[in-house]
Structure 1
Amino acid sequence: MPLTHLNPAGLHTSPAFSQGIITEAGRTVYVGGQNGTDAHGTITGGVFEQTAQALRNVLAVLDAAGATPEHVAKLTIYLHADADVNAGFAASQEVWGQHPTAITVLRVAGFALPDALVEIDAIATLP
């Protein structure tokens, strides 16, 4: 089955990966793990700022696919073991809002980007 690769303008891109993938058969969008990076790949701030930016990045990929938070079936949030989960939750309430979905939160030792405190991926269906 063909795949459509998503790399929305304004997000950091790499030739090694896509920010998201749409499957043609099931009309499912897989949003790759998003860190709190800006368009240049820079990470700044603590867990609140990084969570907010990671969620804005997820929203950008969803938007590029024609989806919204209401279409998300699952979020997986990877949180650095030393990060404040309450700060991450506060950021998610501010950026994501009241869009309930299945969620898994995992505490991890670290990320490929040494300054990263959070990474978020999503699975959504297309309308």
Structure 2
Amino acid sequence: MSRAIRHLLIGGLIMTMGVSAATAANESDRKLTIVNPKNLYDPTPNGYSTAVVVPREARLAYISGQGGQDGTGALSPDFAVQVKQAYANLRTALDALGAKPDQVVKLTIFVVDHDMSKLEVLTRNVKEMFGRALPAQTLIPVPKLAVDPMLFEVEAVVMLE
């Protein structure tokens, strides 16, 4: 496959952008590659992957943090209910982009007053949504989120086809 290469000089840095001359991409060229090195701890039982590689030609979308609010903006006081609703909200955002869960590259989740009892709820919901296509993920414990009753938030980086 031939490529035209364009160079841009920006603030003293050279950026190289590849422009494909091919009109149709291979199906395998649009797949995420999950990397879990054997010499590192296996993160899959906890619902994430060590690294995810995005194909060179992919476009990315960034989904803002989705909390556990229902369609009216109401929040349950129950952590598990908020987590389930937040992942449903993430799925709605993916649908709006024409994307599926297996196109999610990275999740960042924020948990108010995180402790190990919440980990099972988090892992179960991630595995239900993503199956074996577990994205890279970072959990950040926080003292509070945007609104006081909010206990959980999830943001995502998504590869678009």
TM category (shorter chain) comes to 0.7 to 0.9
From the two aligned structures, give the one with the greater strand fraction.
2
Distance across 2 between alignment mates of 1:50 and 1:77 = 13
* Gap regions ≥5 residues in structure 1: 1-25
Letter of the structure 2 residue corresponding to residue 30 of structure 1 = Y
In structure 2, the CA distance between the partners of 1:43 and 1:72, relative to structure 1 (3 Å rule), is same
Give the structure-2-normalised TM-score: 0.58
Question: 1:11-56 CA distances to partner (integer Å, 9 max, x unpaired)?
Answer: xxxxxxxxxxxxxxx6321110000011111111422111111011
Specify the alignment match of 2:59 in structure 1. Answer: 27
Shift of 1:93: 2.8
Q: How does 1:1-127 map to 2 (within 5 A)?
A: 27-82=59-114, 84-127=118-161
RMSD: 1.7
| Aligned partners of 1:74 and 1:101 also within 8 Å | yes
Partner-residue secondary structure (3-state), 2:74: coil
In the other structure, the counterpart of 1:12 is none
Paired-residue identity, %: 31
Aligned length: 102
| 8 A contact 1:33–1:119 mirrored in 2 | yes
| CA separation of 1:47 and 1:95: change in aligned 2, threshold 3 A | farther
Please report how far the alpha carbon of residue 81 of structure 1 lies from its aligned counterpart in structure 2 after TM superposition.
1.4
